[in-house]
Amino acid sequence: MDYMRITKQERQSIQRMLNRGFSPNKIAIELERSPSTILREIKRNRVRIVNGKNSYKKVLDSNCAHAAHCFKQHLCVDCIQDKMLCRLCERCNAVCDDFRFVSCPRRDAIPWTCNACEQRRTCKLVKYYYRADEAQVYAQQKLKESRTGLAISDEELQALDTLITPLLNKGQSVHHVYMTHADKIPVSEKTLYAYIDANLLQVDVFKMPRKISRKPRRKRPERRVDSGCYICRSYRDYLNWCEANPGANTIEMDTVEGTRGSGKVLLTLKWMQSAFLMAYVLEQQTAAEVTRLFQFLQNGLGREHFQQLFPVILTDRGSEFTNPRAIEGNLQAWTKVFFCDPQKPQQKPHIENEHSLLRRKLPKGMCFKQLTQEDIQIVLAHTNSYKRQSRDQKSPLEIFRFTYGEDLAAFFNIKHLAPDEVDLTVYKKIRD
């Protein structure tokens, strides 16, 4: 048959046949598909399931042969769970010297799922299931995300800019340049116009008289997005990660804007367990600024302390967060970054609520241009010294110091204020 994407009905058929024990080859024959297509579909969209969190089992599903009889604790130097056994945390597989991997002939080879396994109810290994509805949603999400953003790399964009910008600045038309250098331009003529409209090329539009004579169309601003940066980082992936790593402290990340066009924004980080909020001034709301900030944090804290403070980060899909690999540490993953679903701020409610307190000091509509990092640390001293009923009448800074120690807390340089010194009115520098 001609190539076409797998449909929802075909995915339902795949699930039914897997449940009945059909091999991928037999499924391929039934659906008139290539066996490699069926295998790729199963492996790409299967769902990882870890039992134990919401069941009667005392042992979390693990890939270690010793998990059922292991009582080790505190294998990780940054462990904050005093009474928790390491076998209940999947990180133990990576740090324990006695870990012995147990393979499964169904899960780790064809058919790559546990759908038809007779031992799946009693098996204590991590399991994978193929579920048609979830596979359909996941496939559509990956398809949408892979079509978002630029189709060329930063290096190709730079080479394109170097090639065509001098020619356009001589008054040549885009069509003339494209037809003359079509073999060196990796995009279509229409895409070239789109790049110019999005200010991705350093073209002087005043050298293009026909363009500036036309009224611009009403259009949402284009944001550069790393194509595929959200794949395997969705909110569902975050929940699966948390289930596999119980007890890990999530840090929610967001940005707070002043007046539009003022340039400066605040990047905010909230530790969920302590309610501690940290904020940094960014000169621009870009992925490059966020990358520079996390390089500063990684260099200042070192790998061990950074991993202790940032085990996992949950943020929204703002354009400034579209380089998650740089946030994680590029060559070595120092943390894990996940994204909320589009238009779902309620998936990170803790930092959204904390912003309401921060806005009492820095109201909406106020320009951040005159604010410095020292100003923000003064503001945070007041919000983090504010005692919370939900934290047993303790302030976030008190809990943060108790959890991570005075030395790590001192890195952020937030002063603890006496209760009577806390002032949640508009920050004086803005008020004046």
Write down the domain spans for the chain: 8-146, 159-212, 235-431
Output 352 or 57, whichever has higher pLDDT: 352
CA nearest 247: which of 337, 316, 333, 312?
Answer: 312
Beta bridge partner(s), residue 338: 314
Q: Give the pLDDT mean for 60-88.
A: 73
Determine the Cα–Cα distance for residues 191 and 176; give it in Å rounded to an integer.
Answer: 15
| pTM of the predicted model as reported, rounded to 2 decimal places | 0.55
- Average pLDDT of the residues in 109-135: 86
Comparing 145 with 99, the larger pLDDT belongs to 99
Max alpha carbon distance in the chain (Å)?
77
Are 357 and 382 within 8 A, CB to CB?
no
Read off the pLDDT of each residue in 75-83 and give the average, rounded to a whole number. Answer: 65
Token code pair at residue 131? 């579920």
Sign of CA dihedral 177, 173, 220, 263: positive
Residue type, 19: N
pLDDT class for 382, splitting at 50, 70, 90? very high
Cβ–Cβ < 8 Å for 163, 185: yes
- CATH architecture group of domain 235-431: 2-Layer Sandwich (3.30)
Q: Are 72 and 86 in contact (CB under 8 A)?
A: yes
Q: Using one digit for the tens of pLDDT, what is the confidence trace for 150-187?
A: 667 777 888 888 898 888 888 888 888 888 888 888 88
94-108, 117-131, 161-175, 366-380: the lowest-pLDDT one: 94-108
> Which range, of 50-64, 240-254, 354-368, 384-398, averages the lowest pLDDT?
50-64
Lowest mean pLDDT: which of 101-105, 118-122, 178-182, 189-193?
Answer: 101-105
pLDDT(127) > 50: yes
What one-letter code names the amino acid at 135? A
Which residues are 276's β-sheet partners? 271
Q: What is the mean pLDDT of the chain?
A: 82
